[in-house]
Structures are given as structure tokens and as C-alpha cells.
Amino acid sequence: MPYSKFINFGKAINSNVNNNFNAANPITYCLVPTLGSQFSHGSTSSGQLYSNMNTNCTNYMIERCKNNWDEYCQTFVELNTDSYWPNLAVIDTLAYTNAKQFFNIKTTIGQDLIRNVMYHRYICTERNESTREQFDPNVANSPYIQLYDNNVQYYSKLKNLDKNIDKDKYIDKMIENAKICMDVLGRIYLGYIRKEINILNTRLEKFLKDNQSIFNSFIEQAILLVPSFQIQNQPPYL
């Protein structure tokens, strides 16, 4: 008789994994930037999850927050104010780094979550490779998360942008954090002037028009330096 997979066995004994207070829920590992989760989880995953500054936590928070920005997402932003660590869950490192250098800013771990969520919602990199793995393989019912390649060396596309975006609360958050999300907004602006999207008479169009000079300066240099800003099928800038 075949044995049940470990994760399937876990479902039978831990049906509350989606409970935010259940120890198997990744939010109990990832919310607070301390080693305190060690007291709840012990020495898991060969030390990979000793704090919330790891690839699994940063990618989990994106998956959690990209479709439902709840109080835990906002708390993560407010608590994780360290700007020392790299953005481990970034997609399109070149675009992300270029935008930070354009404004000469250092972003916090919490601010990087905002940027990463906006990238996932509005930008598509069709050839970006990804893998799925359990958040904590030492916990039977630990959910699977998606891990993406950080680098993008080809043209990107836009998604989820149409005349209905005035109902999209994520647009408000992106505009409120414009410098943090500059590479995403810059790519949207580029798509706007290339007529890849139709956002006429929306608040996003008004914001782009009101800040047209900044966006023009940004995309002028980004087109030369960032492959995902270049025209489709154009070879990467060398």
C-alpha cells in the first residue's frame, strides 16, 4: 500500500493552517523582525527560518498580500524598518536597483514588500522561471510558496490595468509610495505613452501626467539600462 505524502498527512492533523495564530501558518514566522519565532518553531529548516529575513518569508508575504492587503501586510511594513538587508524576493533586480539609484534612496524591508506586491500585480515577465516548494519542509501542513528568478533580461508586459483601476485600492497605495515603486510606475508610464494600456480619464493617468517631467527623465535612462523597459524583441542593452 503506498504511503501518504508528508504534506497530505499534515492536512489530516492540522486543518487550521490558515489560522493566523496557528504555528504552521507562515505569518507566525514572518511578521516580526526578531528571533522570537524560534520559541514557537524551534530550530526549523536547518536554520533557514531563524528570522523573517529569508527568501521564504519575503516571497510568502508577497503571495499573501498581492490580492488582499490586510492588517498583517500593513503591520509587516510598519515593523520591518531595517534598510540593511537586500530585497530577496525582487523580480527584475536591474529595474529595482535602477529606480533606487535614480532617487538615491535606501528602502526598508517593509517598503520592499510594497514594491514587490505592485510588481506582481501589474507587470508580467512571461519567461521568468519559478519553482514551488514548501514554506517549512519540517512542518507537514506548511503551505507551498512560489519562488521566482530575480533577474529579468527581456521585455516585460503590463497587466490588470484598464479603465476600472479607479476601484483598485492598490493603485492608491502605489501612488502613495511612488518613489518606492518607481520602477513599476515607470514601466506603467512607458506603456501608457506606447499605448500598451488604456487608462484614459483615471486617477492613475492624472498622476502620471502631473509628474510627467520626472517620469520622462526616469524612462529616458531606464530604456538604456534596463532590458525589461526595452521594445519587445530588441536585444538587451550591452
Q: Does 28 or 35 have the greater pLDDT score?
A: 28
Q: What is the CB neighbour count within 10 angstroms for residue 97?
A: 15
Q: Which residue, among 7, 16, 48, has the nearest Cα to 30 in the 3D structure?
A: 48
**What backbone phi and psi angles, to 5 degrees, belong to 151?**
-95, 140
Mean pLDDT of the 27-33 span = 84
Domain layout of the chain by residue ranges = 6-229
Strand segments, DSSP code E, in the chain are: 123-124, 130-134, 144-148, 157-158
* pLDDT at residue number 48: 53
pLDDT in tens, 109-139: 999 999 999 999 999 987 777 889 888 888 8
* pLDDT at residue 153 tops 70: yes
Q: What is the CB neighbour count within 10 angstroms for residue 133?
A: 14
DSSP character at residue 48: T
* pLDDT at residue number 6: 44
Question: Is-contact 52 30, C-beta < 8 A?
Answer: yes
Torsion of CA 82, 83, 88, 94, to 10 degrees: 160
pLDDT band at residue 158 using 50, 70 and 90 as cut-offs: very high
Q: What is the CB neighbour count within 10 angstroms for residue 127?
A: 10
pLDDT in tens, 180-237: 999 999 999 999 999 999 999 999 999 999 999 999 999 999 999 999 999 764 444 3
